[in-house]
Amino acid sequence: MILSIYRVSKFAIQNFWRNFWLSLITITMLVLTLLTVNILVVLNFVTDRAIQAVADRVEVSVYFHANASETSVQNAVTYLRSLQQVRDVATISADEALEQFAARHQDDETIMKSLEEIGTNPFGPSLIVKAHEVADFNTVLEALENPQFRDNIREKDFSNYEAIITRIKDTTDRIRTFGIVLSGIFLLIAVLIVFNTVRMGLFIHREEIGIMKLVGASNAFVRAPFLLEMVLLSVVALAVTALLLYPTLAVLEPKFGFYFGGQTVGLINYFEQNGWRLFGLQLAGLVFLTLFSTWLAMRKYLKV
Amino acid sequence: MISFKHVSKIYPPNIVGVEAVNLHIGPGEFVSIVGQSGTGKSTLAKLLFAEERPTRGTIEIGGWDITHIRHHEIPLLRRQMGVVFQDFKLLPRKTVYENVSFALQVAGSAPRRIREVVPVVLGIVNLHDMFDRYPHQLSGGEQQRVAIARSLVHQPKVLVADEPTGNLDALNAREILDLLKKINEFGTTVVLVTHDRDLVNRVRRRVITLEGGKIVSDVEEGRYKL
Average pLDDT of the segment spanning B207-220: 91
pLDDT value at B120 more than 60: yes
Residue B13 preceded by cis peptide, ω within 30? yes
B83–A214 C-beta distance less than 8 A? yes
Nearest C-alpha in B relative to A303: B71
User: Could you read off the pLDDT of B185-195 as tens digits, one per residue?
Assistant: 989 999 999 98
* Count of beta carbons in the 10 Å neighbourhood of residue B136: 9
Secondary structure (3-state) at A133: coil
Q: Confirm whether pTM is higher than 0.80.
A: no
Mutation choice for B interface testing from A213, A214, A219 by most B CBs within 10 A: A214
Higher pLDDT, A57 or B103: B103
User: Could you read off the pLDDT of A114-144 as tens digits, one per residue?
Assistant: 888 887 888 889 998 888 877 787 788 888 8
Which residues of B touch chain A, with CB atoms under 8 Å apart? 49, 71-72, 74-79, 83, 89-91, 102-103, 105-108, 110-111, 150-151, 154
Backbone φ and ψ of A156, nearest 5°: -120, 125
Partners of B81 in beta bridges: B158
Q: Name every chain B residue with its beta carbon within 8 A of the beta carbon of A5.
A: none
Between 3.30.70.3040, 3.40.50.300, 3.40.109.10, 3.40.50.10470, what CATH number should domain A59-159 receive? 3.30.70.3040
Q: What is the pLDDT of residue B116?
A: 93
Pairing label, strands A126-131, A86-92: antiparallel
Mutation choice for B interface testing from A9, A204, A215 by most B CBs within 10 A: A215
B102–A215 C-beta distance less than 8 A? yes
pLDDT value at A161 more than 70: no
Residue in B89, B107, B111 nearest the CB of A216 = B107
pLDDT value at A304 more than 60: no
Range 52-71 of A in CB contact (< 8 A) with B:
none
**Alpha carbon A104 to chain centroid distance?**
37
Average pLDDT of the segment spanning B160-164: 92
Nearest C-alpha in B relative to A213: B75
Structural domain B1-80+158-226, CATH architecture: 3-Layer(aba) Sandwich (3.40)
For chain B, say whether A6 makes contact (Cβ under 8 Å): no
pLDDT grade for B226, boundaries at 50, 70 and 90: low
Pairing label, strands B81-85, B158-162: parallel
Nearest C-alpha in A relative to B154: A215
Nearest Cα residue to A144 out of A132, A158, A133? A158
Partners of B9 in beta bridges: B18
Q: What is the pLDDT of residue B225?
A: 65
Q: Judge contact between A58 and A134, C-beta under 8 A.
A: yes
Q: What is the mean pLDDT of chain A?
A: 84
Q: What is the pLDDT of residue A159?
A: 66
Instruction: Name, of A193-202, A269-278, B22-31, B213-222, the range with top average pLDDT.
Output: B22-31
Q: What is the pLDDT of residue A115?
A: 80
Average pLDDT of the segment spanning B157-174: 90
Question: Distance (Å, rounded) from C-alpha A97 to C-alpha A123?
Answer: 6
Nearest Cα residue to A75 out of A59, A64, A61? A64
For chain B, say whether A159 makes contact (Cβ under 8 Å): no
Nearest C-alpha in A relative to B94: A208
Percent of chain A clearing pLDDT 90 (strictly above): 10
Going A8 to A14 to A19 to A20, the CA torsion angle's sign is positive
Residues of chain A with CATH 3.30.70.3040: 59-159
Q: What is the pLDDT of residue B182?
A: 92
Nearest C-alpha in A relative to B152: A215
Q: What is the pLDDT of residue A222?
A: 87
Tell me, what amino acid is at B199?
L
pLDDT value at B22 more than 90: yes
3-state DSSP of chain B = CEEEEEEEEEECCCEEEEEEEEEEECCCCEEEEECCCCCCHHHHHHHHCCCCCCCEEEEEECCEECCCCCHHHHHHHHCCEEEEECCCCCCCCCCHHHHHHHHHHHCCCCHHHHHHHHHHHHHHCCCCCCCCCCHHHCCHHHHHHHHHHHHHCCCCCEEEEECCCCCCCHHHHHHHHHHHHHHHHCCCEEEEEECCHHHHHHHCCEEEEEECCEEEEEECCCCCCC
Residue in A207, A221, A304 nearest the CB of B106 = A221
User: Could you read off the pLDDT of A30-43 as tens digits, one per residue?
Assistant: 898 889 888 888 88
Q: What is the pLDDT of residue B135?
A: 94
Residue in B83, B106, B111 nearest the CB of A217 = B106
Nearest Cα residue to A130 out of A72, A73, A55, A78? A55
B76–A219 C-beta distance less than 8 A? no
Q: Name every chain B residue with its beta carbon within 8 A of the beta carbon of A218.
A: 72, 75
Strand order in the sheet with B30-34: B81-85, B158-162, B189-194, B30-34, B206-211, B214-219
User: Could you read off the pLDDT of A73-89 as tens digits, one per residue?
Assistant: 888 888 888 988 888 89
A216–B106 C-beta distance less than 8 A? yes
Q: What is the pLDDT of residue A59?
A: 82
Burial letters A74-101, b for 16+ CB under 10 A, else e:
eebbebbeebebbeebeebebeebbeeb
Q: How far is A203 from chain B (nearest CA, A)?
A: 14
Q: What is the pLDDT of residue A75?
A: 85
Q: What is the CA radius of gyration of chain A?
A: 32
Tell me, what amino acid is at A111?
I
Q: Name every chain A residue with its beta carbon within 8 A of the beta carbon of B151.
A: 215
Burial letters A5-24, b for 16+ CB under 10 A, else e:
eebbeebbeebbeebeebbe
Average pLDDT of the segment spanning A235-245: 93
Q: Name every chain A residue with its beta carbon within 8 A of the beta carbon of B83.
A: 214
Continuous H helices in A162-216:
162-204, 206-214
Q: Name every chain A residue with its beta carbon within 8 A of the beta carbon of B74.
A: 213
How many interchain CB pairs under 8 A, A with B? 52
Higher pLDDT, A48 or B150: B150
Q: What is the pLDDT of residue B60?
A: 94
Question: Distance (Å, rounded) from C-alpha A108 to C-alpha B7?
Answer: 112
**Alpha carbon B179 to chain centroid distance?**
13
3-state DSSP of B6-68 = EEEEEECCCEEEEEEEEEEECCCCEEEEECCCCCCHHHHHHHHCCCCCCCEEEEEECCEECCC
User: Could you read off the pLDDT of A218-236 as tens digits, one per residue?
Assistant: 888 888 888 999 899 999 9
Average pLDDT of the segment spanning B74-79: 90
Range 220-279 of A in CB contact (< 8 A) with B:
221
Question: Distance (Å, rounded) from C-alpha B163 to C-alpha B152?
Answer: 17
Residues of chain B with CATH 3.40.50.300: 1-80+158-226
Percent of chain A clearing pLDDT 70 (strictly above): 97
Going A304 to B1 to B2 to B3, the CA torsion angle's sign is negative
Q: What is the mean pLDDT of chain B?
A: 91
Q: What is the pLDDT of residue A217?
A: 86
pLDDT value at B111 more than 60: yes
Q: What is the pLDDT of residue A58?
A: 75
Instruction: Name, of A46-60, A105-119, B21-35, the range with top average pLDDT.
Output: B21-35
Residue in A207, A216, A217 nearest the CB of B91 = A207
For residue B66, the number of C-alpha atoms closer than 13 Å in the C-beta half-sphere is: 28
pLDDT value at A239 more than 70: yes
Q: How far is CA B130 from CA A22, B95, B101, B121, B163, in A?
A: 34, 9, 14, 12, 24
**Alpha carbon A103 to chain centroid distance?**
39
pLDDT value at A156 more than 70: yes
Question: Distance (Å, rounded) from C-alpha B41 to C-alpha B163?
Answer: 9
